[in-house]
Amino acid sequence: MPKQDVIFRNPLRLLGGDAATILPSGGFGAISARAGVGKTALLVQIALERMLHDQDVLHVSLGDPLDKVKLWYKQVLTGLSSIYERHLVKAMWDDAAHHRMIMTFSDVEDFSVPRFEERLTDLTEQLIISPQVVLFDGFSFDNPSTVSTLRDLKEVAQKYGLRIWFAVRSHRHEQAADDGTPANMMEVSEMFDTMIHLQPKDGDINVTLLKSAHGDEDHQDLILDTRTMLVKDKG
């Protein structure tokens, strides 16, 4: 059945862990890449894997409207439908969809940690959703306030026991660190437990684990399939 197979094939398991353990409670994870390479697609796959484990996921979009975020989920489901029978994928999604909530902010300037925590509290107190995993898409790592904002978000993550993933836009013209850390993450990398980088090469998108909460244990070489936007074993 697709549900069990999607769980088994989830990208974090292939990287040597799984979405439940690769980030500790209160932990941060990052997926970095240049614009248009596939950060959001990987975020959605992480979200879907947790939803299939009956965990609530909050997808926070800074800048993109609700319909655009939904399109990313539709694209990943379309990719799954190229592997599994369409009606089985639909049944899987129908079973998992109620575990997802999308929260949008009109732009980066519209976002603040107190406002986010207020909306998060409203969702939980009204029993709408109780997120264990939060995805931030569109969060800027290029602002002077990035460090202080991340510190405040870390406090919120630890307070509510959240595991937070960020899509990080790297820049071609900026020199990365020797370990591959993007330039705009160097000052905050110590806050992150897990860091993944996506790099186009020879028609593929290589998925590289820069930092792991599990240390230096072995993991598979992966690519993000540009046709389906799904992570798969490079072999």
pLDDT band of residue 6 (cuts 50, 70, 90) is: low
Task: Report percent pLDDT > 90 for the chain.
Answer: 52
Token output for 14: 């292939």
Question: What would the pLDDT profile of 114-137 be if each residue is shown by its tens digit?
Answer: 999 999 999 999 989 999 999 999
Q: Is residue 43 part of a domain?
A: yes
Q: Is residue 89 part of a domain?
A: yes
Contact 25, 163 (CB under 8 A): yes
CATH code for the domain of 32: 3.40.50.300
Q: Is residue 217 part of a domain?
A: yes
Sign of CA dihedral 86, 87, 90, 95: negative
pTM above 0.85, yes or no: yes
217 pLDDT exceeds 80? no
Token output for 29: 């994870």
Q: Is residue 102 part of a domain?
A: yes
Task: Report percent pLDDT > 70 for the chain.
Answer: 86
Closest CA to 113 of 142, 134, 130: 134
Q: Is residue 211 part of a domain?
A: yes
pLDDT given for residue 5 in this prediction? 66
Q: Is residue 232 part of a domain?
A: no
Domain count, the chain: 1
Q: Is residue 163 part of a domain?
A: yes
Q: Which domain holds residue 215?
A: 2-15+24-226
Please tell me the least confidently modeled range out of 20-24, 117-121, 184-188.
20-24
Q: What is the DSSP string of the chain?
A: -HHHHHHHT-HHHHTTS-TTTSS-TT-EEEEEESTTSSHHHHHHHHHHHHHHTT--EEEEEESS-HHHHHHHHHHHHHHHHTTS-HHHHHHHHHHHGGGEEEEEESSGGG--HHHHHHHHHHHHHTTS---SEEEEES--SSSTTHHHHHHHHHHHHHHHT-EEEEEEE--TTSPPPTT---GGGTTTGGG-SEEEEEEEETTEEEEEEEE-TT-S-----EEE-TTT--EEE--
Please give the Cα distance from 180 to 126 (Å, whole number).
Answer: 42
Token output for 24: 């500790």
Q: Is residue 234 part of a domain?
A: no
pLDDT given for residue 202 in this prediction? 80
